[in-house]
């Protein structure tokens, strides 16, 4: 039986550092984030790759030939929106990758816990048969409920 496939554990100090770091990130970014409701999501949609290329081409023209750019646009705001978009996209991708790795690592710890719990269950079953009256009967009865057929 495979047991303890992952033995690299986090410390309380790691958890504290994580919580402090996440809190710091939240305090930096939370005030500028917006959660859209369903109607807003439908209204604003999402920019596809072709439209991203279009925005980039308009930006290229603005940078190379500014006299051809519309005076009706706040180009400082345009640049700020482009910067924020890239920042948010990159940050979100990093967080998604981190969350995926965290959940997969959690799965390994879950596996270890379950395998060790099975070992303890079989030990309890054995002791219940070989040493009646020592309390193993109650423990076995409570654990056995998880293995109904």
pLDDT in tens, 3-62: 788 889 999 999 999 999 999 999 999 999 999 999 999 999 889 999 999 999 999 999
Percentage of the residues of the chain whose pLDDT score is greater than 90 = 91
- Give the pair of three-digit tokens for residue 60: 């290229």
pLDDT digits (tens, 9 = 90+) for 70-118: 999 999 999 999 999 999 999 999 999 999 999 999 999 999 999 999 9
Distance CA 82, CA 64 (A): 17
Judge contact between 84 and 96, C-beta under 8 A. no
- The pTM assigned to this predicted structure is 0.79
The string of DSSP letters for the chain reads ----S------HHHHHHHHHHHHHHHHHHGGG-----HHHHHHH----HHHHHHHHHHHHHHHH-GGGS-TTS-HHHHHHHHHHHHHHHHHHHHHHHHHHHHHHHHHHHHHHHHHHHHHHHHHHHHHHHHSTTSSHHHHHHHHHGGG--
Judge contact between 125 and 141, C-beta under 8 A. no
């Amino acid at each position: 039986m495979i047991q303890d496939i992952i033995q690299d554990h986090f410390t309380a100090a790691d958890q504290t550092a994580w919580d402090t770091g996440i809190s710091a990130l939240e305090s930096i970014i939370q005030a500028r984030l917006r959660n859209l409701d369903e109607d807003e999501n439908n209204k604003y949609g999402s920019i596809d790759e072709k439209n991203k290329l279009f925005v980039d081409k308009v930006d290229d023209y603005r940078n190379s030939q500014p006299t051809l750019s519309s005076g009706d646009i706040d180009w400082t705001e345009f640049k700020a929106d482009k910067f924020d978009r890239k920042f948010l996209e990159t940050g979100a991708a990093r967080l998604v990758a981190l969350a995926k790795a965290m959940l997969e690592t959690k799965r390994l710890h879950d596996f270890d816990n379950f395998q060790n719990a099975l070992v303890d269950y079989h030990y309890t079953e054995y002791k219940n048969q070989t040493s009646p009256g020592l309390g193993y009967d109650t423990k076995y009865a409570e654990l056995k409920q998880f293995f109904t057929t």
